[in-house]
Amino acid sequence: PTLFRSAWVVRDGFDLGVGASDAKQNDVMSFLRLRVDADLTDNVSVVVRLLNERTWGDVDNGTTTDNTDINVDLAYVEMREMLYSPLTVTIGRQVLSYGNGLILGDGPNNETTGPLSTVSPDLSKVSGIDAIKAVLDYDPLTVDIFAAVIDDGNAGMRTQDKTDDTNLYGINVNYAFNDEKGTVAEAYFFSKVIGLSAGESDYDTVQTPGFRVSSNVLDGLMLSGELAWQFGRNTVLAGTDSIERNAMAAQLIANYMIPFEKTKKYNPMVTTAYTYLSGDSNPSDSAAGEDSIKYSAWDPMYESQGCGKIYNALFDLTNAHIYSVALSAEVMQDVMAKLSWTGLWLDKKLPLATWQPLNMYIDGVRTTTYAVNTDKKALGNEFDLDLTYDYTEDVVLSLSTGIYLPGSVFADANEDAATQAILSVLVNF
C-alpha cells in the first residue's frame, strides 16, 4: 500500500556526553512511499514504489541529495509459473526479508547513504535491494534462491577490473508443517562477497548458514529459536592478508498471550527475547595474519532488528548479549500501549580505551569516539514506552519514548543518558 508518515523526532544526548556540549535533535520528517502495481497478464506483474524521505525545512538533508528527490525504492517484474507451475521469478529492486530479520530484514539497516544518512539513518524506510530471485513453491515446502548486487563499485566501461563490487547470494528453505501448532522450520545459507580495491589479495567473504524454528507450543505461547554461524575470510581488517572468520549468533523469542479472564479484554501479551552475537577479544591481533588467529566478531549483515530503539541507533548488532522483556495491552478501545526493557552486555571486553561503534552523525559529521573501560561488559539498559491510537482504519497516531542509561563499559565522560521521543501520524491508503 501507499504510505505517508510524518514524524516529530526529538533526541537528546546520543553522544552520551562525549562532546563539549550536549547533542540534541529536534526535527520534523516526512516519509512518502507511493506504490503502483500492474498485472500485465495472469502470470506477469510489475511493481514500482517511489520513496521520498525529507526533513522539513532542510533543503538537502545535510547531504548532496536534494530534499525533494524521489528515489525508486522498488521496481521489479514478477513472472509466475515460469517454465513450469511451481516457479516464480522476480527481477529488479525488491525486498529480501527472511525469518525475524536477524540476517536479512526489510532493507539495509542503518545505511550510510540516502537522504537521511547524516540525520537519522536508523529511521530510514529504504527497503529495496537489486536482485534476481527464484521461488519454488512445493507447498508446504518453499525454496527461495537469489543473487543481489549491493554495491556495483566501478560501473560502466572502465580499465579497472570489477573486484570492487559487493554482492549477496542466498538460498532459504521454508517448511510449514501445517499442524495445529503452526510449526514452521527454515534453513538458509547467505553469502556476502565484498570486492576490495586494487592491491588487495583476496575478497572479503561472509558465509552465513543457519536455521530457525517457530511453533505455538501451548495455547497462547509462541516460541521461536534461531542459530547461525559465520565463516569465510576477513580481508578488510587484515589488509593485504586475510584471516578466517569464525562467528556465531543465536536468538530465542517467546510471545505469551496472558490468559486470565479478568484481563482478557485488554489482550495483554508478554514478549521476551534473548540474542547472542559473538565478539572478538582483540580484533587488532587479527591483522597479524597468523593462521592460528580467527576473527570471531559477528557481521551484522543486513539485519532489521531493534528498529526505532536508541541502542539500535548507537551500536552495531555484534559482540553482545541482548535481553528484552515487553508487556503490551489494549489499555482502551483502539489504544495500544507497550512497555519494554532491553539490557545489553558485551560478549567480549573492548580491547582499546576508545570506541566508535556506528555511523552516528552530529552536526553532519560522524561522532567522535567514546571513552570506555576495557575491564567491563555492562553496555547499558534501555526503557521504552510506545503508544498507538487507531484513529481510523487507515490512520494511526503513535508516540514512542525511550531512555538509554549507559553501563559500566563507558567511562565517566560518557555516562550521560540518551533520550528520544517520536510523535508520528501514519496513513496507509
Give the rounded percent of residues in the chain with a pLDDT score beyond 70.
85
Residue 153 has pLDDT above 90, yes or no: no
CA dihedral over 310, 63, 116, 90, signed as positive or negative? negative
- pLDDT, residue 355, reads 82
Residue 164 is predicted with a pLDDT of: 72
DSSP for 118-173?
TT-GGG-----EEEEEEEEEETTEEEEEEEEEEE--S-SS-SS-STT-EEEEEEEE
Per-residue pLDDT, 151: 83
Q: Are 244 and 294 in contact (CB under 8 A)?
A: yes
Euclidean distance between CA atoms 19 and 362, whole angstroms: 10
Average predicted confidence (pLDDT) for the chain: 87
pLDDT of residue 264: 85
Q: pLDDT tens digits, residue range 181-232?
A: 999 999 999 999 987 655 445 678 999 999 999 999 998 899 999 999 999 9
Tell me whether strands 320-332 and 335-346 are parallel, antiparallel or unpaired: antiparallel
pLDDT at 131 over 60: yes
Q: Please check the confidence at residue 108 and state whether its pLDDT lies above 80.
A: no
Number of CB atoms found within 10 A of residue 393's CB? 8
Q: Which three cell numbers stand for residue 171?
A: 538460498
C-alpha cell at 228: 547461525
Is residue 288 over pLDDT 60?
no
Greater confidence (120 vs 278) lies with 278
Residues 354-364 have pLDDT tens digits of 887 766 677 66
Q: Please, is 266 exposed, middle or buried when counting C-beta atoms within 10 Å of its C-beta (0-12, 13-18, 19+)?
A: middle
415 pLDDT band (50/70/90 cuts)?
Answer: confident
Cβ contacts of 342 within 8 Å, gap of 6 or more = 306, 309, 311, 322, 323, 324, 381, 382, 384
pLDDT tens column, 34-55: 999 999 999 999 999 999 998 9
Q: Is a pLDDT exceeding 90 seen at residue 8?
A: yes
Q: What is the pLDDT of residue 422?
A: 97
Alpha-carbon gap, residue 404 to 343, rounded angstroms = 10
In total, the chain counts a number of residues equal to 429
Given a contact cutoff of 8 angstroms between Cβ atoms, the answer to whether 375 and 411 are in contact is no
Residue in 316, 392, 388, 324 with CA at minimum distance from that of residue 347: 316
pLDDT at residue 235, rounded to an integer:
76
Of residues 196 and 82, more confidence is placed in 82
Instruction: Give the CA dihedral 114, 117, 119, 125, nearest 10 degrees.
Output: 60
